[in-house]
Amino acid sequence: MSAATEMERPRIVIAGGGLAGLSLSLALKRALDGGIDVVMCDPALKRDPHGDKRSYAIAAAARRMLEALGVWGEVADRAQPILDMVITDSRLQDPVRPTFLTFAGDVDGHEPFAHMITAGDLTAALLDSCREAGVDLKAEGVKGFAVRGAHTEVSLTNGDSLQASLLVAADGARSHLREQAGIGWISWPYKQSGIVATIAHERDHEGKAIEHFLPSGPFAILPLKPEPQADGSLKHRSSIVWTERTENVPALLEAHPEDLLIELERRFGLQLGKLAFETKPQAFPLSFGVARSFVAERLALLGDAAHVIHPIAGQGLNLGLHDAAALAEIITDAMRLGMDPGAADVLDQYERARRTDITTMGMMTDGLNRLFSNDVLPVRLIRDLGLGLVDRMPGLKRFFIREAAGLTSREAPRLLRGEAL
């Protein structure tokens, strides 16, 4: 059935209910007294959100946004603050891993620079809030769109169509809508994959995150909230992001579980005691990608549909949440002035607001990965000297920690400062 509904008020259709699309949907619906008709479409809405066991580092600025949207309170007791960060530079066969850089995890007072949380918990909380706020959630894909003057006609996989002032493509790195809009994609592969899993361990991590820079890529151990057990004890857990040359990944994932555990222990170390896989390891091929433009006629790209970066600094989703905060602010400010939220000059503001931040973060993570994922002796000496110097300069360390927290930009959107739209 085809049902092109006339718009009674400005309508924004968001294609993709990943964490970026969900955050934008909620931010827009909570603004202007619910005056925007927000429709969020994603076939994945049919799945149980708790099924996603991956974990993410959510930087302080993004956490402030989730707090301003009323979501953080729903997940705070399941989020683990990162209280300390340790960085080492070594080879797999090195008997000890000398520490080159340490960070205490607080920015300004007692706010941790990041929290670890599972994607499932955060997605479920955002979905509940979207439902409660009145976002129209459709478990359908967006098939395509056609711009017709003052609106865009969005067609869904069930044959329905919707008129919208703006279509936001939050449909992930392989965005089919970006392609349909004819927006170019600059990208290169890293020949590395990120193996992610949750690891149970004997001893308390005490909120410490560890990143070992190894020649095949960074190996990160990220603390998760311990889980209370029926006998009153706590199950200690961490999430790993194990960057490995892609050619080695199939053999690792197909290895006997005990052999894989030995490989894990060689990287993880035994400081947290006995290890066990709590979730099945999953591998994600890593690449860099950025859209030539973040907007087209009545279309805006959001999150991974606009940019994909190396996970070395755990910033990919944080960039997507920053996009959501910026786009929500630009749209609501324009609508307060009576402007059309899908007009070209409104979308140009979004392009200008996000281009520098995204390019800088993309280049920084690309450069860090190239600098550390190798075993060339002169490069090792120079990078270790650099890390050692940073470790002795409190001002510079403070700058880096504020950068990781997403708190260095003076022009950060209001939501990232924890303010209402």
Query: Which positions lie near ligand FAD, rule CB under 6 A?
Result: 15-21, 41-42, 44, 56-57, 141-142, 170-172, 176, 194, 196, 241, 284, 303-304, 311, 314-318, 320
* Residue placing its CB nearer to ligand FAD in the complex, 54 or 398: 54
Q: Which helix (H) or strand (E) holds 328?
A: helix 316-336
Residue closer to ligand FAD, measured from CB, 176 or 245: 176
Q: How far apart are the first and last CA of the chain?
A: 37
Identify the three-state secondary structure at position 396: helix
Residue type present at position 415: L
Return the HEC string of 200-229.
EECCCCCCEEEEEEECCEEEEEEEEEEEEC
Nearer to ligand FAD (CB atom), residue 145 or residue 380: 145
The CB-of-98 to ligand FAD minimum distance in angstroms stands at 25
Nearer CB in complex with ligand FAD: 319/335? 319
Which CB sits closer to ligand FAD, 129 or 315?
315
Which residue, 335 or 407, has its beta carbon nearer to ligand FAD? 407
Q: Measured from the CB atom, is 183 or 335 closer to ligand FAD? A: 183
| Rounded least distance, CB 383 to ligand FAD, Å | 22
Nearest-CA neighbor of 193 among 164, 176, 223, 217? 217
Shortest Å, Cβ 364 to ligand FAD: 14
Smallest gap from residue 313 Cβ to ligand FAD (A): 8
Q: What is the distance between the alpha carbons of residues 241 and 312, in angstroms, rounded to a whole number?
A: 9
- 195 vs 346, beta carbon nearer ligand FAD: 195
Least Å from the CB of residue 263 to ligand FAD? 17
CB of 12 to ligand FAD, least distance (A): 14
Shortest distance (Å) from residue 172 CB to ligand FAD: 3
Listed residue (331, 324, 326, 275) closest to 302, CA to CA? 324
Residue 388 CB, shortest distance to ligand FAD, in Å, is: 26
User: Which of residues 31 and 57 has its CB atom nearest to ligand FAD in the complex?
Assistant: 57
Burial class (CB in 10 A: 0-12, 13-18, 19+), 71: buried
Which three-class secondary structure state does DSSP give residue 172? coil
CA atoms of 157 and 380, how far apart (whole Å):
52
Q: How far is the CB of 90 from ligand FAD (least distance, A)?
A: 21
Find the shortest distance in angstroms from Cβ 230 to ligand FAD.
30
- Amino acid found at 350: Y
130: left (phi over 0), alpha (psi -120 to 50) or beta: alpha
As given in the structure block, the two tokens for residue 118 are 């599972």
* Residue 180: CB atoms within 10 Å: 16
Nearer to ligand FAD, 97 or 322 (CB): 322
Q: Is 418 exposed, middle or buried (0-12, 13-18, 19+ CB in 10 A)?
A: middle
* Residue 91 structure tokens: 């080879």
